[in-house]
Amino acid sequence: MTANSSSLMCGRHRLDLSYPRVMGILNVTPDSFSDGGRHVALDDALRHAERMLSEGAAIIDVGGESTRPGAASISSQEELERVASVVEVLVRELDALVSVDTSSPEVMRESAALGAGMINDVRALEREGALAAAVGSGLPVCLMHRQGEPRDMQQAPRYDVPIEEAVAEFLAERVAACEAAGLRRDRLLLDPGFGFGKTVEHNLRLLNRLECLADLELPLLVGMSRKSMIGKVLDRPVEERLPGGLALTALSVERGARILRVHDVAPSVDAVNMTWAVLEEGC
């Protein structure tokens, strides 16, 4: 699909992208930066997902590996043990459209077999075997820009060209690699990767110039919920970053984002819908 297309096939679900949608974050990790350990138990994960869906989330994004700055990597087996049962129960009990936040080929394949509808890869399918696994899954994939790995990505990140150019060039190269491997363009989404190998100044400039990615003609997924850029600009701890995050959500919608990845679903849905109502009135 292109940025102007109205829907995306996600397994047995058809995701309507004629207007912006909210993706609820479900981390089943012990060490994620803002909610680590809260939803590790299967019943807790199910209840939280159920709540996010009732609040208006169109997608539940399940992650089993923390990608916070400084996070250590884990084995594919450990990640799969965290994720598989959650994906299975969300699909079976809630008929949810589940996205799996993973770079592991093994997790991609198993999640697809369990009924997941989307792959969300912070490493843009660069890990060995990931591209082939994504092609074989038949699912849409979100490709994210990042510089470095979580363990070192925030150690003095720098770019030789303006950040928006660096992001656009990287994503264009990954799209070309996907198409060459047989992953059709109508199965791709793009994430500029706020907070992944970027300073606060990089993040602010990138959001201000987000329309520069429109030339790639693919739907944009944006995630800035509770991130440190909000804390550094506003001097707020993680638990006080919602107002700043809602402002960023509204700006992202205004600049073309089609999926907003968030922790706080209900207020984010309101922010998205209110912003969209204003934009549609001007059409």
Stretch 95-108: mean pLDDT: 98
State the pLDDT confidence band at 157, using cuts at 50, 70 and 90.
Answer: confident
Q: What is the pLDDT of residue 5?
A: 55
H/E/C letters for each residue in 162-194? CHHHHHHHHHHHHHHHHHHCCCCHHHEEEECCC
Tell which wins on pLDDT, 217 or 281. Answer: 217
pLDDT digits over 42-97, tens only?
A: 999 999 999 999 999 999 999 999 777 666 778 999 999 999 999 999 999 999 99
Q: What is the pLDDT of residue 193?
A: 97
Question: What token pair was written down for 39?
Answer: 């939803």
Q: What is the pLDDT of residue 153?
A: 65
Task: Evaluate if residue 217 carries a pLDDT over 50.
Answer: yes
pTM of the predicted model as reported, rounded to 2 decimal places: 0.92
The β-bridge partners of 262 are 24
Cα 14 → chain centroid? 18
Q: Is 85 exposed, middle or buried (0-12, 13-18, 19+ CB in 10 A)?
A: middle
Domains of the chain from N-terminus onward: 7-281 (3.20.20.20)
Task: Evaluate if residue 200 carries a pLDDT over 80.
Answer: yes
Q: What is the pLDDT of residue 211?
A: 94
Stretch 189-193: mean pLDDT: 98
Residue count of the chain, please give it: 283
What residues are annotated to the active site? 227, 261
